[in-house]
Amino acid sequence: MRITPSPQRLALIAVLLASFGLAEPVHAALPTADAAGTPLPSLAPMLERVTPAVVNIHSQQVQRVRNPLAEDPFLRRFFGIPDMPQERVRQSLGSGVIVDADSGLVLTNNHVIEGADDISVTLADGRTLVAELVGSDPDTDVALVRVAAENLVALPLADSKALRVGDFVVAVGNPFGLGQTVTSGIVSALGRNGLRGLGYQNFIQTDASINPGNSGGALVNLRGELIGINSAIFSPSGGNIGIGFAIPASLANEVMRQLLAYGEVRRGNLGVATQDITPELADVLALGAQSRGALVARVETGSPAEQAGVRVGDVITQLDDQPVLDRAALHNIEGLLPVGKPIRIGVNRDGKPLRLKAVLKARPKELAGDALDPRLSGALFAEIPERLRQGGVTGVVVSKVERGSRAAINGMRAGDLITAIGRRRIDGLSSLQSLADAAPRELALQVTRGQRAGVLLMQ
């Protein structure tokens, strides 16, 4: 027997719900579809708009294979091995998201297409297209490819900053090469970083199932807007355990903008060298409860930090309203902020909080040895990849050494990792320049070359 409440009872229920704040519209409510006259929750209407914009990406890389037998002429003739390099084709499967239908722009992960000789994109309607690599940024694991086709469907980008823990999300991709697959979940956490082996990090964490092959696919809200690019999973076994990570759409969009404008990503540089605050430092500097932050050890001349009024001994606690817990967090936030953007710096100076303003400058990617010290002439120095830095590697790498140059005569080689000058550690190009500016009488470089480490005296 079915009981129908009277209009008076329904009105009373509505008043009670309103009094508890339960009558407000639920913005993340599931769409509905009628089935035999009964409304049932379903994601199908939204997915009908989303899935045509999610593609499968197939990449191939031709690798030369070294056969030890082929190195010996006698063995080569004895076994009949052809005197030509052998090749092996390495294939990779992943996903991508069309974000501009008119220009055919597709966002994906750098690790999906890294080193690829050929890239192809398969659309949801079955068409397979040759893709052109526009550019990539290994440090954020974002890549941009372009396809030429008509009747493409693109996803609109949501404001990632409006995302909240607990929001419903849906992941669409191509796990294990099975074909387009949809999983759902919620936002588990925001602003995740500190994952080993990855570069600049500001991940959305979700419990929506993300597996190998989902990389580069779409993470969308219930309105069908792109909120993230699926990037990584955390799993001891290599499969999904309910912890997946996505690059925020706002960050991916900024990387795309710079790749289109400059062909590369220009990272912001505040111009400070910092160190973590230990309990001993906190006592010496009388920081009291202020044990979190990055202690400024050096301010570069002419840097945004110097122009903003940052001083040695300041503790940076915030950057652009984001909390700075330690030195690594400052470096991560600094690298994710766009160049030329006005930012606010929160510092603690002599126990008092201050708010300073600065405009980030582009971080130099290379420095010529000639501009540092005559003894380094002919060498070109570059920042180490951010993924190595996240793994604890510090210093600068020698990217090039001219034959017959003073650096080459002194024994420097391309690929050398310079970790210190004398006993002073090098964090990057800025600290290399600062130490070289001091014009040390003896230029003794601590160098790591392959599995060996030693001192290189430049004369």
> Could you give the residue numbers annotated as active site?
111, 141, 215
Residue with tokens 């550690």: 425
Per residue, what are the HEC states of 375-430? HHCCEEEEECCHHHHHCCCCCEEEEEECCCCHHHHCCCCCCCEEEEECCEECCCHH
Cα 160 to Cα 154, 195, 335, 339, distances in angstroms: 17, 20, 18, 20
Secondary element (H or E) of residue 364:
none
Listed residue (258, 272, 430, 263) closest to 339, CA to CA:
258
Listed residue (270, 211, 265) closest to 430, CA to CA:
270
Give the 3-state secondary structure of residue 351. coil
Note whether 366 and 298 are within 8 A (CB): no
User: Which tokens is 162 given?
Assistant: 């409006």
Give the 3-state secondary structure of residue 66. coil
Listed residue (51, 94, 92) closest to 214, CA to CA:
94
Q: Which residues contact 281 (CB under 8 A, 6 or more apart)?
A: 275, 287, 295
User: Which tokens is 147 given?
Assistant: 């396809």
Distance CA 285, CA 410 (A): 42
Interior CA angle at 402 toward 400 and 405, to 5°? Answer: 130
Note whether 266 and 337 are within 8 A (CB): no
